[in-house]
Structure 1
Amino acid sequence: MNPTPPTRIDVDEQSSDLDAARDLLATTYAGNEWRADATAMPFAFRFAAVGDTAMSLRTIRFDGHLQGVMTPSEDFVVQWTTRGTATIGSGDDQLLMEPGRPQLWPQQGAAFSYRDYEQKIVQVNRAALEEVAGERGTAPGQLVLDHTVRPDERALRVWRSSVQLISHTVLDRKASPLLQAEMGRLGALALLELYPVVSASLPDELLLPRNAHVRRAVEYVHEHAHLPITSTDLARVASLSLRALQIAFQRAFELSPNAYIRQVRLDRVRDALLQGDPATTSIAEVAKQWGFAHAGRFSATYQQRHGEYPRDTLRRRA
């Protein structure tokens, strides 16, 4: 039985009606509480999308103020503005968009506010990304990307060059389904270079209402493991005293909060080594990136956590 190719996408919509433009985007992205207001600029709107249901390239122009809430999606959406202002999230978690710099949309959804903007989007379906991530060791159903990471310059170069090649191919309406599929795979690979995989899943017990405080702390660790966080930070996030936090972590994980942070970072190192090229990846540099400066101590700690030394993990890619 031959697999069914992804459905082709080819959309180009324009409007001078503010409410119609808002409704079109809200319907396309299953949004909640979307509101659009006029600004000093004459209103103009365009939405274009090309590709297929596995991966598509999209552009939006909206000369006005658009705000609302994006709900969780099965697609991974990387977007960047070329004009205007934009924020994602709220409070301490708010992200200010930098023109030209890609940002992964939070998979759990988020509030947003955009004004007089032009935006480019690469949208990759979860199933397509899971297939590529599975080849790198990510278990089915476990794919979570850390949208809070600020991609480094190497990852940005890979992303931009990949998007340029994808654009040339996908915008050619005569490109074959096979070539389109290869571009989808390239987009998935570039996305996995741009944002790290969060490997650990939370224990079922933490989903119980009585563990809501410690769950908030654990989720904070997984979202901010790349930052210098402390037990005091986690106590504040969980609205617990430091002593109560330590007791909660000991009960849930038989670990102190600091030991749990270190364990998550060791998992991130493993993810990076599984994805790395043995010919070019420096174990010491990856370790330093995740806060492990002492090579000998790191190697022993890694072996204790993962049952093998870092060099053995990296060799799996050979």
Structure 2
Amino acid sequence: MGKLPFYSRSLSVAEEFISSQYCKVKLSSDSESSATSITCRRFPEIGVDSWKLGYNFEFDAVGMEELCLVSVDHGSLSVRRESGFETCRPGGVMLLNQPGRPFHGRGVECGQTVVLLEAAALLRAVGADEHGECPLDGFRPVSRAAESRLAAGFTYLAALADAEVLTGRLVGRRAADFLAALVLDCFPHKLGTELREAEGYRARVSTWKKATAFIEENARRDIGLPEIARAAHVSPRAVQYAFFKHSAITPVEYLRNVRLAGAHAELLLSDPHLVTVGEIARKWRFVNPGRFAGLYREAYGSPPSVTLRRI
């Protein structure tokens, strides 16, 4: 991991270096000059490399397991597809390959940012099986705006790499997650259902966290489902669904459990000569003493009066 610079005017030396860092590659060129400058920046699960090839060339690549994406800065890069050559020009972004499949291309005095990403990172981003097939369903971004976002993201990651920000394993892993999300956001893919489910899950968790925090902070106030929903910025139905999916109880049941826990803690700490069970129950919004006693016994195995007299 880290930065590895390379420069050579020998085509065979460049071919050997590229083969050692990426996959088996055969380079050919009719140009008299063959100056190759490459800076490899490698981190957990991703690579963010800079290439400058000052000559026209063709290449054949075999067996590259990572996804290889390029953002062209100058010159051009073309890759053979089933329908012919697809060309990427300055400002453009293109996926070169599908993992493990050979690909052939050519370039014209090309300068480019080369980004490597494991397909597993894309699958992990939406909670899918990391051992599944690559989900990308095309070699170009879905729009020119998406292409611009990708190019900016690649530049940002290269700057972080040069500043040695990505050297830690945890930071490198988060960089891979960021890159995977960016690629999924900008390329066509086959993860529509998984992505919607992941987004729905995140939304439900966010709703549940907001609602539970509100309940725990305001359990002694006169609140109910409408107030909980407003605090979570969703409808009552949405907050009920979030609780059902995340904790298998209703928001009102969660509120009741928090109030019972608060009353239980206060009963344990109170002096029976100074306070009654009824006073504590009312403080925690239990207006029916008999109902409170029944719920308390069900939760803690004994009447609240026994807990209060333990001191």
TM-score by length of structure 2 reads: 0.56
Amino acid at match of 1:84: G
Question: When the two structures are superposed, what TM-score results if normalisation uses the length of structure 1?
Answer: 0.55
Larger radius of gyration: 2
Q: Secondary structure at the match of 2:29?
A: strand
1:71 aligns with 2:62: yes
User: Residue 257 of structure 2 aligns with which residue?
Assistant: none
The number of equivalent residue pairs is 205
| Structure 1 residues without counterparts, runs of 5 or longer | 1-7, 200-267, 280-314
The within-5 A match list for 1:125-274 is 125-133=118-126, 135=127, 137=128, 140-173=131-164, 175-177=166-168, 178-198=170-190, 270=193, 273-274=196-197
Measured in 2, the distance between the counterparts of 1:32 and 1:168 equals 28
Distance 1:277 1:116, change over 3 A: farther
Deviation at 1:278, TM superposition (A): 10
Consecutive unaligned residues in structure 2, runs of 5 or more:
203-240, 247-311
Comparing 176-185 with 104-113, greater Cα deviation is found at: 176-185
CA positional deviation for 1:189: 1.0
Q: Determine the C-alpha separation between the residues in 1 that align with 2:107 and 2:148.
A: 26
Q: Distance in 2 between matches of 1:100 and 1:58?
A: 16
User: Helix, strand or coil: the match of 1:37?
Assistant: coil
The DSSP-based 3-state class of the residue aligned with 2:37 is strand
Instruction: Give 1:112's aligned amino acid.
Output: G
- Superposition map of 1:107-118 within 5 A: 107=98, 108-118=101-111
Following superposition, the deviation at residue 149 of structure 1 comes to 4.4
The structural deviation recorded for 1:32 is: 4.5
Shift, 1:65, TM fit = 2.4
Matches of 1:274 and 1:156, distance apart in 2? 25
Cα 1:149–1:46 change in 2 (3 A) is: closer
The answer for the alignment partner of 2:29 in structure 1 is: 36
CA contact (8 A) 2:92 2:151 kept: no
State the Cα distance separating 1:88 from its structure 2 match.
Answer: 0.1
Q: Cα offset for 1:86?
A: 2.0
CA contact (8 A) 1:197 1:271 kept: no
Distance between the aligned counterparts of 1:110 and 1:123, measured in 2?
15
SS in 2 for 1:74: coil
Amino acid at match of 2:176: G
